[in-house]
């Protein structure tokens, strides 16, 4: 149970006297000053390293500046594709016809053959392992009918996710007119893997061989993510390169419950492909090593645990359980693990109807009174509007509460 795990460190705060404007919740100070070692000085224009579970950014440089993503563009392509699969509009078992446009696409290739059909799941592997630009065009045409319409979908998704420094002009990243920031990539990847965890195994595949119908057997191609071989705990996600972009990477790694994302843009400029890939791997390795030396993840309670009960004005039953939609925990500096305090803050101004899954509060984690993270709490069930007597009674109680509450 949550109370047993949190013990004396769990403080339940019900803000009965504070009516929150538009359902907003109070924020605690966010500045945290501890004694972690400085992040490594790396040969990259932009980097960001964060905890995937909580979203806490551990270190960054130039994270809000737009940059050429190169093949990191394919993350959005796959997001759109898995959206379609989840909606039942396409299937991994679909046989996808290969157009001349797809076959003729340059750069890194899966080597699909015009006039043939390829299984959609093979195209996914062709994108995640081979970074096949031809596979991206085939996917775009299968999902949206043409590349232009698919790219429109990509940009609409970017707006939906609130990506302010992101714009796509193709589904594969060949064009240097694509743009994304490290901060936007953090938002994109976090959403992608939470919404579509079924996609992650494809990003961990080290090699894949595809032979088009009627051709002689082809040798496997290998993932450009060298961390899959060299870094224990690495499980994704994507690399990218063009001459103007430099060597880019989004790396995912998990050790001892600490799930880290490292984003590097514009590294190893002017290097050869082999030297640039080695340099990029060393840069990301140094960032991951720094994170694991300096930080720990403290898990407090499992997902879907009830952590409090919120009043619902004018609602049937008058209350709703607050649950954590995912595991509750915080990422803190080494040595601070036993100092984590969790404060549950529930919105005291909820009014029916309330939908299951809607945000009704937060758990705020602090160390020595300084915030180190926060996680949302959501309604466990629907709360419909109550009968007329409930509505009248709650209206009177709220009016009296406002009339007699202390004025500042």
| Catalytic residue list | 71, 74, 131
Contacts of 24 by beta carbon, 8 Å cutoff, 6+ apart: none
Contacts of 183 by beta carbon, 8 Å cutoff, 6+ apart: 48, 60, 63, 64, 165
Cα–Cα distances (Å) from 89 to 86, 148, 154, 157, 196, in that order, read 8, 19, 17, 17, 15
Helix (H) or strand (E) holding 101: helix 100-104
Single out the residue of 253, 249, 244 nearest to residue 225, CA to CA: 249
Longest Cα pair distance anywhere in the chain, in angstroms?
A: 84
CA distance 165 to 162: 9
Helix residue ranges, H only, 161-295: 182-195, 200-203, 227-230, 273-294
Phi, psi (rounded to 5 degrees) for 53: -70, -40
> Are 261 and 49 in contact, with CB atoms under 8 Å apart?
yes
> Are 291 and 60 in contact, with CB atoms under 8 Å apart?
no
Contacts of 148 by beta carbon, 8 Å cutoff, 6+ apart: none
Helix (H) or strand (E) holding 97: strand 95-97
CA distance 174 to 108: 9
CA distance 358 to 385: 15
CA distance 91 to 4: 45
Scan for tokens 């919120």, then name that residue. 310
């Amino acid at each position: 149970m949550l109370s047993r795990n949190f013990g004396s460190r769990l403080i339940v705060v019900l803000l009965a006297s504070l009516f929150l404007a538009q359902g907003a919740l109070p924020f605690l100070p966010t500045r945290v000053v501890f004694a972690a070692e400085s992040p490594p000085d790396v040969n990259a224009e932009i980097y960001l390293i964060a905890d995937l579970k909580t979203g806490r950014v551990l270190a960054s440089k130039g994270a809000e500046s737009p940059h050429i993503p190169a093949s990191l563009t394919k993350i959005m392509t796959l997001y759109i594709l898995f959206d379609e699969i989840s909606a039942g509009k396409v299937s991994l078992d679909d046989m996808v016809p290969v157009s001349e446009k797809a076959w003729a696409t340059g750069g890194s290739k899966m080597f699909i053959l015009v006039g043939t059909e390829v299984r959609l799941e093979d195209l996914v592997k062709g994108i995640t392992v081979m970074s096949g630009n031809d596979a991206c065009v085939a996917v775009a045409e299968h999902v949206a009918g043409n590349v232009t319409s698919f790219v429109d979908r990509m940009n609409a998704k970017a707006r939906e996710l609130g990506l302010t420094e992101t714009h796509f002009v193709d589904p594969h990243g060949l064009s240097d007119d694509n743009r994304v920031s490290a901060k936007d990539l953090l938002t994109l990847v976090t959403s992608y893997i939470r919404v579509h965890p079924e996609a992650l195994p494809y990003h961990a595949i080290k090699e894949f061989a595809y032979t088009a119908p009627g051709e002689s057997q082809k040798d496997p191609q290998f993932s450009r993510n060298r961390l899959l071989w060299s870094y224990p705990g690495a499980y994704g996600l994507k690399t990218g390169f063009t001459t103007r972009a430099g060597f880019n990477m989004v790396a995912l790694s998990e050790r001892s419950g600490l799930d880290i994302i490292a984003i590097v843009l514009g590294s190893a400029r002017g290097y050869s492909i082999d030297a640039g890939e080695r340099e990029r791997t060393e840069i990301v390795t140094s960032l991951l090593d720094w994170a694991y030396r300096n930080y720990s993840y403290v898990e407090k309670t499992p997902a879907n645990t009830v952590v409090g009960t919120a009043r619902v004005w004018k609602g049937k039953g008058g209350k709703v359980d607050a649950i954590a939609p995912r595991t509750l925990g915080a990422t803190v500096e080494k040595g601070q693990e036993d100092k984590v305090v969790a404060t549950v803050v529930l919105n005291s101004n909820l009014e029916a109807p309330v939908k299951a899954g809607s945000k009704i509060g937060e758990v705020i984690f602090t160390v020595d009174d300084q915030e180190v993270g926060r996680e949302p709490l959501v309604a466990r069930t629907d709360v419909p509007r109550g009968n007329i007597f409930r509505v009248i009674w709650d209206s009177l109680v709220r009016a009296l509460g406002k009339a007699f509450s202390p004025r500042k």
